[in-house]
Amino acid sequence: MKLLVTGGAGYIGSHTCVAAFAAGHEITVLDNLCNSSPEALERVERICGKKPRLVVGDIGDRACVRALLDAEKFDATIHFAGLKAVGESVEKPWEYYENNIAGTLVLLDELRRHGVFNFVFSSSATVYGNPDPANLPLREDAPLAALSPYGATKLWLEEMMRAMAKADPRWHFMLLRYFNPVGAHESGLIGEDPGGIPNNLMPYITQVAVGRLKELTIFGRDYPTPDGTCVRDYIHVCDLAEGHVAALAKVADLPGCTAINLGTGCGTSVAQLVASFEKATGRPLPHRYGERRPGDAAACWADATKARELLGWVAKRDCDAMCRDAWRYQSMNPDGYRRG
Ligand code: NAD
Ligand code: WQD
């Protein structure tokens, strides 16, 4: 297939480019590089022997999107482009609504005008809000809620896509709800490259391990979980990338709007992840226990049955592999793509 990959220079996008090349697809990336480096795509070339075409531009820039779609005929879009930091979205809601919602509406409008109706969307487990423990593991029909402007952008875009699919049978939307993506390509060449101090657990851990940060604070040890720390469904980014390839293989056969969880179906606690990481590096990771982080759910993990049944996809890599690969990338690139 000929693919338009928005946000393809980012963390999940670059790994998906590798998986999509391996499956024989052709790729054009549209990315404004607001949270990524073109170096990621140079690295994709080192892994795959070919490089996606990069168009530097914004999904909300109608003239840019139109010119791209006038010039190239695509079979499907994978839409990663978006801002993704929950805390920042509380500080800057307008920027999140503009970038994620207004931007996506321009993209969708130009796609329909150009007859490109196969659309794979980066949604998130954030649409389940703070899940009721009675609903774990989370199935796709669990109740939905937005607890932040970021979460609202995912939820509202999902709603818009459901309505658009209902009104126009030409649309084929796949809403892929990612749980907690971590890890890196096994080559160590591509991985997560957050600017500033990371908010998410795994990049924080790897930056402590590499000496950029002093110690990890584990937020809370009095949750109603087996070891008192929060439980999440960490998924290796390469499994996630392969989930997109599996979705592409089915998108043309699935009209309407289909929501699918991409997770492992297993919960792992923060303390367990830290232990796996220490095993991967063979060294203790400096850490201490602190207060709970406001808004954190005690536990959140996926029921991954629908992905297996509909896409024939299951996550294959375990927590040890996630930690090993995250550490290989961080130690080969101590300062991310800026050096290494
Ligand atoms: P990322 O920031 O590494 O990648 C996003 C990419 O989109 C970046 O390259 C950025 O430059 C680009 N971008 C942002 N706004 C743009 C715009 N208006 N026009 C063009 N390009 C733009 O993030 P990621 O972790 O790879 O996430 C990809 C997608 O997956 C996002 O939509 C995110 O919300 C979603 N998601 C991520 C996670 C996670 O934990 N990483 C979990 C669930 C869902
Ligand atoms: C994981 C666990 C923390 C940092 C977020 C978004 C979600 C999705 C994935 C985009 C929690 C604990 C963390 C630290 C810690 N993103 N932690 N010390 O909150 O599950 O999900 O990323 O869609 O929408 O909300 O991920 O990596 O921030 O935290 O103890 O320094 O690690 O309390 O239990 P989260 P996370």
Q: pLDDT tens, 44-96? A: 999 999 999 999 999 999 999 999 999 999 999 999 999 999 999 999 999 99
C-beta 86 within 6 A of ligand 2: yes
Structure tokens that stand for 337 in this block? 């793509």
Amino acid of residue 329: Y
C-beta 201 within 6 A of ligand 2: yes
Q: pLDDT tens, 276-299? A: 999 999 999 999 999 999 999 999
Output the pTM of the full model. Answer: 0.98
Q: What is the rounded CA–CA span in Å between residue 219 and residue 156?
A: 29
Q: Which residue has the tokens 């774990």?
A: 136
Strands 256-262 and 172-178: parallel
**3-class state of residue 260 by DSSP:** strand
Given the CA of residue 180, which atom of ligand 1 is nearest to it?
A: 40
Alpha-carbon 159 to chain mean position: 19
* 37-46, 111-120, 148-157, 329-338: least confidently modelled range: 329-338
Q: Which residue has the tokens 């391996």?
A: 22
In the prediction, which pLDDT does 340 show? Answer: 46
Q: Which residue has the tokens 């991310």?
A: 336
What is the mean predicted confidence (pLDDT) over 1-15?
Answer: 98
Radius of gyration (C-alpha) of the chain in whole angstroms: 19
DSSP-derived secondary structure letter, 184:
-
Q: pLDDT tens, 196-206? A: 899 999 999 99
Average pLDDT in the chain: 97
Q: Please say whether the beta carbons of 76 and 117 come within 8 A.
A: no
Counting ligand 1 atoms within 8 A of each CB, the residue from 5, 12, 83, 126 with the most, and so the one to mutate, is 12
Nearest to 89, CA basis, from 98, 79, 77: 98
Structure tokens that stand for 300 in this block? 């959140």
Q: Is the pLDDT of residue 339 over 90?
A: no
C-beta 135 within 6 A of ligand 2: no
